[in-house]
Amino acid sequence: MSAHEAVDALRELGLANYEARVFVALQRLGSGTAQEVARISEVPRSQVYGAADDLATRGLVEVVESSPKEYRPVSLERAREQLRERIERQHERAFEHLDAVHEDSAGHADESAVATLRGHDPIQDRMVTLVADASSDVLLVGASDGDLRPDVLAALEERTTEGVDVTVVTGDGALRDRISGGVDVVYSPASGDSGYAGRTLLVDDATVLLSVPTHEDHAEPFDEVAMWTANTSIGHILARFVHAGMQAGIEDAAEGPPGDA
Task: Tell whether domain 3-79 is in CATH 1.10.10.10.
Answer: yes
Calpha distance 155→181 (Å, rounded): 11
Whether residue 108 is predicted with pLDDT greater than 70 in this model: the reply is: no
Q: Where are the domains of the chain?
A: 3-79, 115-252
Whether residue 102 is predicted with pLDDT greater than 70 in this model: the reply is: no
- CATH tag for 115-252 (out of 2.30.30.90, 3.30.870.10, 3.30.300.30, 3.30.1540.10): 3.30.870.10
Whether residue 138 is predicted with pLDDT greater than 90 in this model: the reply is: yes
pLDDT band, very low/low/confident/very high, at 145 (cuts 50, 70, 90): confident
Pairing of strands 224-229, 115-118: antiparallel
Look up residue 94 and give its DSSP letter. H
Decide: 54 and 19 in contact? Cβ < 8 Å: yes
Whether residue 187 is predicted with pLDDT greater than 90 in this model: the reply is: no
Q: Characterize 11-48 residue by residue with b for buried, 16 or more Cβ atoms within 10 angstroms of its Cβ, and e for exposed.
A: eeeebeebbbbbbbbbeebeebbbebbbebbebeeebb
- How many alpha carbons fall within 13 Å on the CB side of residue 203? 23
Name the β-bridge partners of 226.
Answer: 117, 211
Q: Is the pTM of this model over 0.75?
A: no
Opening angle at CA 70, ends 68 and 72, nearest 5: 175
Calpha distance 217→116 (Å, rounded): 20
Across the beta sheet with 32-33, what order do the strands follow? 32-33, 70-73, 61-64
pLDDT band, very low/low/confident/very high, at 171 (cuts 50, 70, 90): confident
